[in-house]
Chains A and B, each alone.
Chain A
Amino acid sequence: MISQFFILSSKGDPLIYKDFRGDSGGRDVAELFYRKLMGLPGEESPVVMVTKRGHHDDRHFIHIRHSGLYLVATTSENISPFSLLELLSRLATLLGDYCGSLGEGTISRNVALVYELLDEVLDYGYVQTTSTEMLRNFIQTEAVVSKPFSLFDLSSVGLFGAETQQSKVAPSSAASRPVLSSRSDPSQKNEVFLDVVERLSVLIASNGSLLKVDVQGEIRLKSFLPSGSEMRIGLTEEFCVGKSELRGYGPGIRVDEVSFHSSVQLDEFESHRILRLQPPQGELTVMRYQLSDDLPSPLPFRLFPSVQWDRGSGRLQVYLKLRCDLPPKSQALNIRLHLPLPRGVVSLSQELSSPEQKAELCDGALRWDLPRVQGGSQLSGLFQMEVPGLPGPPGQGQSTSAPPLGLGPASLSFELPRHTCSGLQVRFLRLAFRHCSNANPHKWVRHLSHSDAYVIRI
């Protein structure tokens, strides 16, 4: 049971405020929440907070952060945190579906629509329904979109699924179209986006051995098709689930665990690896999978660091060689290497292997940006720093290659477009015939891997 729901901008301005039960103090709750949030000491978790004002006004704030906004629910009961967090993220998706994309601008342009949605989703603080399908019968207001959508923008289509740097820089205009505001322009109606997004977390020991590989994958679908149209998604046939299953002749594409959305019909999955579903309009996670410890393809990056550390003069020299082990045709984008340095580093001189790279010191760490790296290529950077005031133990004044404490581990962030680390591919996306009344629907199938945590110890 939720008492209130509100949306705050990143600066704490209330954009939306809804009181469901009429039992609690007014809008100042939103301000109270923001003050509490800002006043939190670093080590405390902001996920749940409690207010104490007298004996009968205890309220738990539970919030999520999404695209720079705070979506906050308050409750006075000892409720399941999982349900509430899930509800909040579902609301975020719904608002995204209806308003195009979730953001301060879109919310404030569509206040009426948001309230209308909230009225339908929650009654007296209880969830009624969150399915796009049921909601579309009741929602009258059209979304206000800031700029008209045009297919020409498709060159910069980002992924709606992954919060990558690319999508932050160039918001995907195609996918950030309101799902239901298409009455005016029927030509844009038939579009389907299918994204395979993988998050990669890797830990490599200082001797180069692999300590941990973890791939979290998702197949996400955003459909603008009329609801009820059936589609079939064919996955790579060698796709195996679990350690023991064997398929195809090759090594197969193996994942440890798979879970499907409840609307997916799996009758053809066993035989042909085909998922059948009738998606509602809007966004949907069709399938989630995890894979850990053995990856079929080599890791995308290897880092070969060498460190010269002169304790006497405090000079630290770090030579980093980065090798990209992707196939030669693929490339990685927006690579950023983050290397924490010992305290007190003052100056940096650098020699980089190509001009478009950039390296700088920030927050006691080295940041090395590489806009793109072609598969199979090798890049290097030589960094020299001064670390005064870090005296070593007496008697070891010589230059050593042992890294000083406080250096590393290096972490990489990157995106790999058109590449999945597990090797999973969507073979085809077929739509049932009957709904192709007007133009042939556009189908967009995209693959992307990006780093969650790619850590290399030095």
Chain B
Amino acid sequence: MPYLGSEDVVKELKKALCNPHVQADRLRYRNVIQRVIRMPGVQEYIQQPILSGLRDKASYVRRVAVLGCAKMHNLHEDSEVDGALVNELYSLLRDQDPIVVVNCLRALEEILRQEGGVVINKPIAHHLLNRMSKLDQWGQAEVLNFLLRYQPRSEEELFDILNLLDSFLKSSSPSVVMGAAKLFLILAEKFPHVQTDVLMQVKGPLLAACSSESRELCFAALCHVRQILHSLPGHFSSHYKKFFCSYSEPHYIKLQKVEVLCELVNDENVQQVLEELRGYCTDVSADFAQAAIFAIGGIARTYTDQCVQILTELLELRQEHITTVVVQTFRDLVWLCPQCTEAVCQALPGCEENIQDSEGKQALIWLLGVHGERIPSAPYVLEDFVENVKAEAFPAVKMELLTALLRLFLSRPAECQDTLGRLLHYCVEEEKDMAVRDRGLFYYRLLLAGVDGVKRILCSPKSDPSLGLLEDQAERPVNSWASDFNTLVPVYGKARWATISKCQGPERRGLELPNTASFAASGPLIPEEDKERVQESSGSGVLMLVPNLQLTAECFEKAWLSLQVAHQQALPWQGAVHPDTLQMALQVVHIQTIAVSRAGAQPWKAYLSAQDDAGCLFLMELLWEPGNSAVQISVKQSEPRPEALSSFMSVLETVIGTIGDIKL
């Protein structure tokens, strides 16, 4: 609510504004103009003093007057934009005083908000670039932000600008460095190597900010480090020690650091990182300890054995808050990395004594149900849960218990029959929660339909490794977040920002406008977005592989022998890739594996097939000779369609490249 001055104050203000020489005393002028924002009754009085202030000799008065224009405009929101005033402000961009220049940009931005904000054309952009060194750090950071909306006409101009900006990447102020880095990233949108280069250059300042004495700055820097890691996972790997936590740090910093550690882990540092994380698991703060355990679980998707061992050791502590999180981690891990099932099953007995919360119990019960045939004591642990089901507070646990027991009943009927009967009886007769009762009734009727039916319905796959692979592949290109760099988005996190801006809907759009619809430099951005979309859709239109191609080995062989080789190529290959990994990766892009030689066989061969939506079959052979650093690929095609072949090859190349990077 604006503060309404008393009548005397307004009168006094009006009197001051009526004085033709109000700007003679600059402090008084400033005070008068600053107070204008709260005084709705003085519109008609301020125009004259502000206009004469714009032409004053003292730069201080001009600074105040320029921002006064914005205040004047905002005072009567609905009024037309005054063209003469806008022109005057544009001409003041050439003012001698650097603060006047920056204030002009700010004022124009506010006045022209409806039309998309201040326009940065070529002369203005270059004028600003040349004045940059005269500005203080705040001005520099702000001008860098305004320059984001300028689109250089030619490549030459683009690189000229980048050269001019280079020195700001070395500024001692983090805000200028980040502003310059963002401008680089946006301008060099089409030059990935320049972007990578810039990110290399800001690494130093970012790391310095990460160990800065100001916790808040440190936090903002860590958030940006995470953002960069999404696209360049190896970027900070050699500096992993910088992200070790110290006990005196506040919680929010520690949690960010753990996330960063989790993301930058690679073959060289995994040992040290895990050792450090293990230390955090016994931290006094339960939240932090749990975050560390989840982080180890995240790393376990790639380095399963080491992590499962650490997690198993943690169970020995027999502390509730640790055990529950470890068991939850195990559940997710077994689903994604089936190879660790055995180790997990051995670690589970005994856990039930140390779990009290709902999440942990659900995880444990799920594990016992799905992998119960490998855990000798599973029926008896579940029986204990059934004994205490009346005292159980969480309906979700009861539901999980029903499903788990039924699953276990299918594999170990003799041991479970009695318990299952009791549980069903309890759920149907005594349970008050409707969802649990319905679930109980449902299973009861299902059992009535016969055990075979139950088996068909309940025995779903016990793991889905492709899920983990997909998550790993979600490396985002730099361009997808360049516009969020140096804003609040990385600090909130993308997900939280989405909810915030959704509520902010109408206002946000108003803020976005400047980027898309400024009137002189308009155009290029909107079509560009569309273009991308078009490319995306057309890109998938060219080659759409059919997901569930079922080609038998005989058909494959027949087709293979009848067709000519359409394309041959060698791709770099590390060798020693596990067949499962390959198969999984190929499944993701809908390429079916027909036959693969054993891991370690020499020479190693694989036969694959795929079909696109137009019905064209692709058959291929991968051949790898030991000692060779490339894999020989021969592709045959049922219809000669070169454009489909080339896009198919690029898909295959991506997959092979990705697997090569994983290096198992």
Quick one: which of A262, A363, A405 contacts B282, CB cutoff 8 A?
Answer: A405
In the complex formed, the residue of A with least CB distance to B244 is A203
- Assess A80 versus B486: contact at CB under 8 Å? Given A46-B252, A391-B318, A406-B282: yes
| A42-75 to B contact mask, C-beta < 8 Å, 1/0 | 1111111010100110101011110000000000
Sample 18 A-B pairs with CB under 8 A, ordered by A number: A21-B37, A22-B3, A45-B256, A58-B503, A60-B488, A79-B488, A81-B223, A82-B141, A83-B179, A86-B173, A130-B136, A199-B213, A216-B211, A216-B212, A260-B172, A340-B247, A393-B316, A457-B279
Could you tell me the distance between the alpha carbons of A355 and B561 in the complex, rounded to whole angstroms?
91
Known: A47-B220, A128-B63, A453-B248. A405 touches B314 (CB 8 A): yes
A273 CB-CB contact with B under 8 Å: no
Q: What B residues does A130 contact at CB under 8 A?
A: 136, 138
User: Is the pair B317, A119 in contact by a Cβ cutoff of 8 Å?
Assistant: no
Determine whether B511 belongs to the interface, using a CB cutoff of 8 Å to chain A: yes
Q: Are B214 and A89 in contact (CB under 8 A)?
A: yes
User: Which residues of B lie under 8 Å from residue A155 when comparing CB positions?
Assistant: none
- A259-B172 contact, Cβ under 8 Å, with A48-B491, A48-B492, A405-B316: yes
Bound Cα distance A278, B495 (Å): 48
Closest to B70 in A: A124
B640 contacts partner chain A, Cβ-Cβ < 8 Å: no
Q: By the criterion CB–CB under 8 Å, are B282 and A56 in contact?
A: no
Flag if A201 contacts B282 (CB, 8 Å).
no
Chain B's closest residue to A218 (CB) is: B213
Q: Within the complex, what minimum Cβ distance (angstroms) separates A22 from chain B?
A: 4
Answer whether A364 and B284 are a contact pair too, CB < 8 Å, given A77-B511, A391-B318. Answer: yes
User: Is B627 interfacial (CB-CB < 8 Å)?
Assistant: no
B99 close to A (CB within 8 Å):
yes
In the bound complex, do residue A78 and residue B282 qualify as a contact, i.e. CB atoms below 8 Å apart? Answer: no
B439-480, CB < 8 A from A: none
Closest to B75 in A: A22
Interface residues on A, range: 35 or more
A201 to B246, CA, bound (A): 9
| CB-CB nearest in chain A for B145 | A80
Are A45 and B246 CB-contacts (below 8 A) given A86-B175, A364-B284? Answer: no
Separation in Å of the A276 CB from the closest CB of chain B?
A: 17
The reply to whether B507 and A127 contact each other, CB–CB distance below 8 Å, is no
Residue of A nearest to B508 (CB): A78
Known: A87-B138, A128-B63, A290-B208. 15 other contacts (CB 8 A): A42-B285, A43-B252, A43-B291, A45-B255, A47-B219, A48-B488, A78-B489, A79-B488, A82-B174, A89-B214, A119-B30, A405-B282, A405-B314, A408-B279, A452-B211
Contact call B486/A343, Cβ cutoff below 8 A: no
Instruction: Select which of A45, A58, A392, A411 is within 8 A of B507 by beta carbon.
Output: A58
Contact of B38 with A by CB under 8 A: yes
Q: Which residues of B contact A129 (CB under 8 A)?
A: 99, 136
Residues of B within 8 A of A413 (CB): 248
Query: Which residues of chain B are within 8 angstroms of A199 by Cβ–Cβ distance?
Result: 213
Q: Is B541 an interface residue (CB 8 A)?
A: no
Q: Give the A-B contact count at a CB cut-off of 8 A.
A: 203
Whether the Cβ atoms of B291 and A123 lie closer than 8 Å is: no
Cβ–Cβ contact A55 & B27, under 8 A = no
Within 8 A of B (CB), among A1-44: 1, 21-23, 25-26, 42-44
* Shortest Cβ distance from A44 into B: residue: B252
* Cβ of A409 under 8 Å from chain B: yes
Known: A86-B217, A89-B214. A80 touches B175 (CB 8 A): yes
Given contacts A124-B71, A214-B211, A260-B172, contact A47 B216 (CB under 8 A): yes
- Give the Cβ gap from A258 to chain B, nearest Cβ, in Å: 10
Taking CB as reference atom, which chain A residue is nearest B205? A259
Partner of B216, one of A76, A85, A391: A85
State the CA gap A128–B33 with chains docked (Å): 15
Residues of chain B from 470 to 518 with CB closer than 8 A to chain A in the complex: 486-489, 491-492, 500, 503-507, 511
> Among residues 335 to 349 in chain B, which have CB atoms less than 8 Å away from a CB atom of chain A?
none
Contacts of B212 in A (CB 8 A): 216
B186: Cβ under 8 A from any A Cβ: no
Q: Is the CB of A340 within 8 A of B487?
A: no
Q: When the two chains form their complex, are residues B284 and A63 in contact, meaning their CB atoms are under 8 A apart?
A: no
By CB atoms of chain B within 10 A, which of A46, A50, A455 has the most? Answer: A50
Complex CA gap A348/B140 in Å reads 58
Q: Which residues of A contact B37 (CB under 8 A)?
A: 21-22, 124
Q: Judge whether A154 is part of the interface by a CB distance below 8 angstroms.
A: no
How far apart are the CA atoms of A44 and B287 in the complex, in Å? Answer: 11
Tell me which of A119, A131, A201 contacts B211 (CB under 8 A). A201
Binding site for B on A (CB under 8 A): 1, 21-23, 25-26, 42-48, 50, 52, 55-56, 58, 60, 62-65, 76-83, 85-89, 119, 123-124, 126-131, 138, 163, 199, 201, 203, 211-212, 214, 216, 257, 259-262, 288, 290, 338, 340, 342-343, 363-365, 390-393, 405-406, 408-409, 411, 413, 452-453, 455, 457
> Could you say which of A50, A58, A83, A257 contacts B208, with CB atoms under 8 Å apart?
A257
Do the beta carbons of A82 and B34 come within 8 Å of each other? no
Q: Does B319 contact A (CB under 8 A)?
A: yes
Are A405 and B175 neighbours in the complex by a CB distance under 8 Å?
no
Contact A45 B219 (CB under 8 A): yes
Contact indicator A452/B246 (Cβ below 8 Å):
yes
Shortest Cβ gap from B225 to chain A (Å) = 13
Given A42-B251, A119-B30, A214-B242, is A64 in contact with B214 using a C-beta cutoff of 8 Å? Answer: yes
* CB–CB A55/B291 < 8 A: no
Residues 281-318 of B, flagged 1 when their CB comes within 8 A of A and 0 if not, give 01111010001000000000000000000000110111
Residues in chain B near residue A124, CB distance under 8 A: 34, 37, 67, 70-71, 106
Chain A residues within an 8 Å CB radius of B316: 392-393, 405
Q: With a CB–CB cut-off of 8 A, which chain A residues contact B216?
A: 47, 62-65, 85, 88
Q: How far is the CA of A26 from the CA of B489 in the complex (A)?
A: 27
Q: Which residues of chain B are near A364, meaning CB under 8 Å?
A: 284
Find out whether the CB atom of A409 lies under 8 angstroms from the CB atom of B279: yes
Q: Is the CB of B34 within 8 A of A81?
A: no
**B residues in contact with A408, CB < 8 Å:** 279
In contact, B252 and A76 (Cβ under 8 angstroms)? no
Find out whether the CB atom of B507 lies under 8 angstroms from the CB atom of A453: no
> Is there an interface contact between B255 and A43, defined as CB atoms closer than 8 Å?
yes
Query: Are the C-beta atoms of B34 and A65 separated by less than 8 Å?
Result: no
Interface centre among B219, B282, B284 (most CB of A within 10 A): B282
Q: Is there contact, CB below 8 Å, between B246 and A80? A: no
What is the distance, in angstroms, from A397's C-beta to the closest C-beta of chain B?
15
In Å, the complex CA distance between A76 and B103 comes to 19
- The CA of A455 and the CA of B37, in the complex, are separated in Å by 54
Asked if A343 contacts B319 (CB within 8 A), the reply is yes
> B2 interface residue, CB < 8 Å from A?
yes
Min distance, Cβ A76 to any Cβ of chain B, angstroms: 7
Q: Complex: how many Å from CA A371 to CA B595?
A: 73
Provide the residues of chain B in CB contact with A88, threshold 8 Å: 216
Residues of B within 8 A of A365 (CB): 284
- Please tell me if the beta carbons of B318 and A25 are within 8 angstroms of each other in the complex: no
**Residues A411 and B246 in contact, CB atoms below 8 Å apart:** yes
**Pairs A-B, 7 closest by C-beta atoms:** A453-B246, A45-B252, A83-B175, A82-B175, A22-B37, A212-B241, A406-B282
Least CB distance from A40 to B in Å reads 9
A42-B251, A201-B246, A405-B282 known; A80+B487 contact, CB < 8 A = yes
**Contact (Cβ within 8 A) B503 A338:** no
Q: Known: A124-B71, A259-B172. Contact between A50 and B500, CB under 8 A?
A: yes
B279 nearest in chain A by CB position: A409
Per a CB cutoff under 8 Å, which of B172, B244, B488 touches A261? B172
Query: Which residues, 162 to 180 on B, are CB-close (under 8 Å) to A?
Result: 170-175, 178-179
Tell me which residues across on chain B come within 8 A of A21, comparing CB atoms.
37
Query: A123 is contacted by which of B34, B175, B284, B285 (Cβ under 8 Å)?
Result: B34
Least CB separation from A261: chain B residue:
B172
**Roughly how many angstroms separate A71 CA and B208 CA in the complex, as a whole number?**
23
Please determine whether A126 and B67 come into contact, CB atoms closer than 8 angstroms.
Answer: yes
CA distance A364 to B319 in the complex (A): 15
Q: Please provide the chain B residues from 231 to 259 with a CB less than 8 Å away from any CB of chain A in the complex.
A: 241-242, 244, 246-249, 251-252, 255-256
